[in-house]
Chain A
Amino acid sequence: MAGVSLNLSDSDRSSSSDQSGSSRSSNRSLRVAEKERRKNEAEDPFVLALKYFSAVEAGTPVFGNDEFENNLVLVERVAYSRGLPPEAISVMLEFAMSLRMGTIPCVRVLKCLIPASVVPQEAVVRAVVWSSVNKISISTQVLFIKWVLTVFDMIDAKDQLRAIYGFIFNFVTEENLCPFICHLLYLLTRKESVRVFRVRKLLELQFKLGRQPFLLHLLSLYKVFCPELVTLSIPSRMRSGFRNHVSPWKSALLGVQKRNGVAAVSGISLTVTIKDRSSSRKRKHCHLQLPAVTCVINKDAQTEQSSSRKLVPLAHLQSFDQLLKNVHRIELPAQMGSLLGSSLALQYLDCVQDESALLRLNFWLGCALHEEFLFCSDGEATQTSEEALQFLNRLLSAQHFLQEGFSSSDTFLYKFLNVWDGSLLRPQILGLLSNIPVVPSSQIRKLLFEPLTQLFFTSSLFFKCGLIECLNNMLLKWLTWHSVYALEDDLDISLNSHTSVNMTLSGFKDSVMELIHFVGRLASLSLQLEGCHTLLLSFILDFYETVCDTFLKFGLPLVIMPPPGVFYPAFFATDPVSVDRLAYIMHRYKVNLTSAKSQEKQKEQAFHISRQTFQDFNHCVVFMVNCLWNSRMFFPGSDIQLGEELLLNSEVPQYWTSFDLIHHPAFMSYALDFHQKCWPSRKNINLSSLKDSKPWSWYLEYLFNQGFDGLKDFVQSNVSRQVTAGDAQHR
């Protein structure tokens, strides 16, 4: 109070001595407002409570201390309603960890440390030092570390934490603390942090505790930075992500952030192609936020040394040109997940192939995906839609941009397929599935086909169509990858620029064959189940349009015919579009096979199309031509065998013509229409009169002009006809 009056008298004195006008008076009103504000603040109970906690003497008793109780309740109320501001966090954390009033209030205070915006790094560093100085119980230390992990992304800078890496590492020997310390170290490790004695310590711990996943994770990160120091073998497909520890602050954090309405961390600054529209949206779940791209060092410190700094943090780059200029000295942010939102960052990551960065990115991604979809024990699954949708869309566009997937998302998908219901976020999950790189044929059944089969046959028609489309995309991507990366025939091709798994050409062919046969089987069975539904047939024919051109479009010497369960339902389809597509596919098969045969003779390469393939193809074509052109349905030797008696009983006259171009269910309307146009006066419509040579060629022309190019190509390449003088068509 005394200070306030002094200030007022100061301003009185200054104003009375002043002569000039309005600027001074406006300054004066500002000063007065400022003082009013400060006076209000000084009387604010929350501020007083904080003053109490910062000034309380060591050794003050807890029990029966009403002042302490009231102040703590006040702080807790503020924390749970709108979160604590950074200064409050500093004060309370210092109070708790210094154990000035004993250990009992420590736990209580830690539990209410909900930050509103950022957590000052200083406070965390002080708390860690206190933790090593004082005798705090292990469970309280665990609670503290869990808190640090929960709010890690909200800590404003990480350079001081990295400076005390060694002190944090010291805690790793404590068995109960070990998992959490390893997680924290994982987030802070840099190349310089990897020292021989630390590796040795971790290996000792592994010897004592067994091959725990948290130790393996940290060791694998060390190995990526300094492979010569870590010689043990790490299994390449580890369970991704540290275990999801129950965090008592999560729900409170969500509540606070919802109430505050705006994201705690500012939006992503790099916007070249992928725009971040999310800053105005309410954030619901912390772990699906793509964190902002920030610098490791706090902004103030940075501006001092900007000229002498060797590394340029990624957050400072605004355009592609800047990226190019500084490509050799870029410093990646501490939180690798932030890279997913910016195409510039992804571009850089893709070019440079920094293994440690990729490892950390995969780790973060794995954690986020597991937490959201696999570990969510609370019944809030229904609320996941909006956030999860946006996150997965972001991930999909990142993968689309890079034209490859992430290993952590693949691992996640293999697990998720076993528990998925087929309808939750279907387009996104199917999209992610189509980005999986080539799976070795020894594992593809167990990993992919078994869960997919189960899902497929227990789901709706639309899921079936969606899955077939997804597998079509997957095949396209595999083939595209092959056509670009397999320059020599027998060399090992690396599947994914991130993994070191290599695959030979024959291994790749095996996997592709497995996939095609799998889809063929799914297609045949589903067509039988769904009664040859046209939509399903259309997606299946899409797939076979890809398959028929594997040789010519993608350079893979592989030709696989559609199975009878697909070919015949497509041929007997009642809509002309499907039949036309089938004809187109058959035509492409012929082109591919003839080209393959001629190349085989010329170049004498190792690939060889088996006789069985040619036989199957000929069989199919002979059947089609016999039915459509020669009106010889049910001829002996075809796959469709029906007894003579049965056919006679069907009371269809001339049943052998029932699937030619005139009587086929798909084309009958066209034949009738043509007949009507050709001979409008005729009363008795006899479709077989179209078989005479002149009407026949007119009818063919009419049919082909309806847009049935596939049929046209097929007929032209497979049927030799007499060309009459007046016939406009050329072979």
Chain B
Amino acid sequence: MDNMGSLNHMVETVALSDGPAPESSSTQKDTSPTDMLRIKQQMSNQCFEMAVHVSAGKIKKSCSTLEAERDLPDYMSELERAKTAHFNSTLALHRMQMWHALGEKMKQSDPEAAALKAVSDRCMALCSRIKQLQEETRYLQDEITEIQKNRLEMKRLTHEKMKEMEELTSKKEHADSEKYKAVLEKGQENLEKYKKMAIMTQNVLRGILLACKVNWLDDPKLRDIAMTLEEFPISD
């Protein structure tokens, strides 16, 4: 690029100065200005292409990592499958050999065999006991699950009933008011209007008290009023 810069400068000086190139510039490889311009153009083209290739290479690289990440879980599960298969086969082989040896030993009648037999008898007894307990546990667990299901069913029914009750109570309220609908609506409107006024007045009074920095607690009348500024006698 520095070469480009100096070349540019050279070209500029040649182009600016009228007339033929000065003696000093002709030492630059006897190329005419047009040739130099052409060279410049070629070089800039080549640089552009190189830049495009570099960026394309980058994109390709990021694409491949994305793909690799997508395939990673599959590869991992394949790996796990292979490991499991290997483990299982090894397990089968080991157990087979081990128990063949144990069986052969137990068929004999030397003291080691007797010890082995004693251990295996104890194991059998424990297994029966365990089986018994597991049966009980299974039975109890089934009962627990049943009870939990029933309780949950009760809960659901309770909620349903509560919803029905709410619907009924709200319906009942409206049933009688059909006749006086217009009057009720007008009344409601008025209520809203006065309610808004009341709230606004309360707010304004509160604002005044705050702005004047009055200690309203000390005056009993003011206190009584200020303590009611949140209340509204008719509930919403």
Contact residues of A with B, CB < 8 Å?
125-126, 129-130, 132-134, 160, 162-167, 170, 191-193, 195, 197, 350-353, 403, 476, 480-481, 483-485, 497, 521, 524-525, 528, 532, 545, 553, 563-565, 568-569, 572, 574-577, 580-581, 633-634, 639-642, 646-647, 650-652, 655, 658-659, 663-665, 668-670, 672-673, 684-685, 687, 706-709
Q: Find out whether the CB atom of A577 lies under 8 angstroms from the CB atom of B134.
A: yes
CB within 8 Å for A687 and B103 given contacts A193-B230, A568-B88, A572-B91:
yes
Residue of B nearest to A400 (CB): B148
Q: Find out whether the CB atom of B202 lies under 8 angstroms from the CB atom of A641.
A: no
- 8 Å CB interface, B99-158 against A: 99-100, 102-103, 106-107, 117, 120-121, 123-124, 127-128, 130-132, 134-135, 138, 145, 148-149, 151-153, 155-156, 158
User: Given A130-B215, A652-B96, 5 other A-B contacts at CB below 8 A?
Assistant: A164-B226, A483-B149, A528-B87, A650-B97, A665-B98
B9 within 8 A of A: no
Q: From the candidates B88, B152, B158, name the one contacting A564 in the complex (CB within 8 A).
A: B88
B38 within 8 A of A: no
Nearest Cβ in chain B — how far from A185, in angstroms?
12
- 8 Å CB interface, B168-202 against A: 199, 202
Instruction: Please name all residues of chain A whose beta carbon is closer than 8 Å to the beta carbon of B89 when the two chains form the complex.
Output: 640-642
- 8 Å CB interface, B48-88 against A: 80-81, 83-85, 87-88
Instruction: Please name all residues of chain B whose beta carbon is closer than 8 Å to the beta carbon of A528 when the two chains form the complex.
Output: 83-84, 87
Q: Find out whether the CB atom of A524 lies under 8 angstroms from the CB atom of B80.
A: yes
Instruction: Please name all residues of chain A whose beta carbon is closer than 8 Å to the beta carbon of B123 when the two chains form the complex.
Output: 575, 669
Interface 9-mer from B11-19, B29-37, B206-214: B206-214
B229 within 8 A of A: yes
The 8 A-B residue pairs whose C-beta atoms are closest, nearest first, are A707-B131, A669-B120, A568-B88, A665-B99, A565-B84, A658-B96, A484-B152, A685-B107
Q: Find out whether the CB atom of B127 lies under 8 angstroms from the CB atom of A576.
A: yes
CB within 8 Å for A663 and B217 given contacts A524-B80, A532-B91:
no
Give Cα A641–Cα B88 distance, bound, in whole angstroms.
9
Instruction: Please name all residues of chain A whose beta carbon is closer than 8 Å to the beta carbon of B106 when the two chains form the complex.
Output: 668-669, 672
B228 within 8 A of A: yes
Nearest Cβ in chain B — how far from A442, in angstroms?
16
Residue of A nearest to B216 (CB): A129
Residue of B nearest to A487 (CB): B156
Q: Find out whether the CB atom of A639 lies under 8 angstroms from the CB atom of B97.
A: no
CB within 8 Å for A572 and B92 given contacts A353-B162, A672-B107:
yes
Query: Which of A133, A192, A663 neighbours the largest number of chain B CB atoms within 10 Å of its CB?
Result: A133
Residue of B nearest to A481 (CB): B152
Q: Pick 23 A–B contacts, CB within 8 A, sort by A.
A: A125-B217, A130-B215, A167-B226, A352-B162, A480-B148, A484-B152, A553-B145, A564-B84, A565-B84, A575-B127, A577-B134, A647-B93, A650-B93, A652-B100, A658-B100, A659-B96, A663-B103, A665-B102, A668-B99, A669-B106, A706-B131, A707-B127, A709-B135
Nearest Cβ in chain B — how far from A417, in angstroms?
22
CB within 8 Å for A640 and B99 given contacts A132-B213, A191-B236, A706-B131:
no
Q: From the candidates A351, A481, A647, A664, name the one contacting B158 in the complex (CB within 8 A).
A: A351
Q: Find out whether the CB atom of A192 lies under 8 angstroms from the CB atom of B230.
A: yes
Q: Find out whether the CB atom of A640 lies under 8 angstroms from the CB atom of B88.
A: yes
Nearest Cβ in chain B — how far from A545, in angstroms?
8
Instruction: Please name all residues of chain A whose beta carbon is closer than 8 Å to the beta carbon of B226 when the two chains form the complex.
Output: 164, 167
Q: Find out whether the CB atom of A129 lies under 8 angstroms from the CB atom of B203.
A: no
Instruction: Please name all residues of chain A whose beta carbon is closer than 8 Å to the beta carbon of B80 when the two chains form the complex.
Output: 521, 524-525, 565
Give Cα A372–Cα B80 distance, bound, in whole angstroms.
40
B231 within 8 A of A: yes
Give Cα A569–Cα B121 distance, bound, in whole angstroms.
24
Instruction: Please name all residues of chain A whose beta carbon is closer than 8 Å to the beta carbon of B229 when the two chains form the complex.
Output: 163, 166
Instruction: Please name all residues of chain B whose beta carbon is closer than 8 Å to the beta carbon of A476 when the two chains form the complex.
Output: 145
Q: Find out whether the CB atom of B131 lies under 8 angstroms from the CB atom of A480.
A: no
Q: Find out whether the CB atom of B230 lies under 8 angstroms from the CB atom of A163.
A: yes
Q: Find out whether the CB atom of B158 lies under 8 angstroms from the CB atom of A524.
A: no
Q: Find out whether the CB atom of B135 lies under 8 angstroms from the CB atom of A564.
A: no
B1 within 8 A of A: no
Give Cα A315–Cα B233 distance, bound, in whole angstroms.
25
Nearest Cβ in chain A — how far from B116, in angstroms?
9
Instruction: Please name all residues of chain A whose beta carbon is closer than 8 Å to the beta carbon of B155 when the two chains form the complex.
Output: 350, 403, 497
Q: From the candidates A524, A545, A568, name the one contacting B91 in the complex (CB within 8 A).
A: A568
Give Cα A685–Cα B113 distance, bound, in whole angstroms.
13
Residue of A nearest to B142 (CB): A553
Q: Find out whether the CB atom of A708 lies under 8 angstroms from the CB atom of B131.
A: yes
Residue of B nearest to A166 (CB): B206
Instruction: Please name all residues of chain B whose beta carbon is closer than 8 Å to the beta carbon of A639 when the two chains form the complex.
Output: 85, 88
Q: From the candidates A403, A646, A665, name the one contacting B95 in the complex (CB within 8 A).
A: A665
